[in-house]
Amino acid sequence: MPKRLFFLFLVPLMFVFQSFIRANKKVHPYHVGSVEINYNSKSKTFEVTGRFFLDDLEDGLGKKYGSAFHFNDTKYKTKLNDALQKYCLEYFKLKADNKFLKINYVGYEEDQESVNVFLESEPVESPKKVEAAVSFLYNLFDDQMNIVHIIVNGKRQSEKMTYPNRYLYKQF
């Protein structure tokens, strides 16, 4: 009989404990982002979209700039735009045919769990060699993985980049 009472108390206690652990744990066990670098032949620019988990990007910006950042809260919009512009220009570089390209921060878009960050390069004539330095969230996680896609004239080349690897070279 005492054994039965023990299980009657233990099972509910285990569920409470598991709920507490889940509530304090990150929603996702992997640190993954994706970056698409797409050459637009009409505008002759690279259009860049980075997609990251919202909480990871908040934490990465917070660690970098020593301040709190909250997506999905309109009062942080200006602060987020300023920080993302600086962050992207530091953690993303692009070269075409051995020439560094000026990158412009366009803005961001968010949903419940992720953030898309938009960048655009200065114009460049039909590139043959594209080099990128991508290290988004490397300042936060030593297991960060960024899946990078480079698309030029419809030809797509992709590579998985993990910390500390940040350099990518592709011929088109």
pLDDT tens for the 172 residues of the chain, in order: 454 444 344 334 343 434 343 344 445 678 999 999 999 999 999 999 999 999 999 999 999 999 999 998 999 999 999 999 999 999 999 999 999 999 999 999 998 899 999 999 999 999 999 999 999 999 999 999 999 999 999 999 999 999 999 999 999 9
How would DSSP label each residue in the chain?
-HHHHHHHHHHHHHHHHHHHHHHHS-S-SS-EEEEEEEEETTTTEEEEEEEEEHHHHHHHHHHHHTS---TT-GGGHHHHHHHHHHHHHHHEEEEETTEEPPEEEEEEEE-SSEEEEEEEEPP-SS-SEEEEEE-TTTTT-TT-EEEEEEEETTEEEEEEEETT--EEEEE-
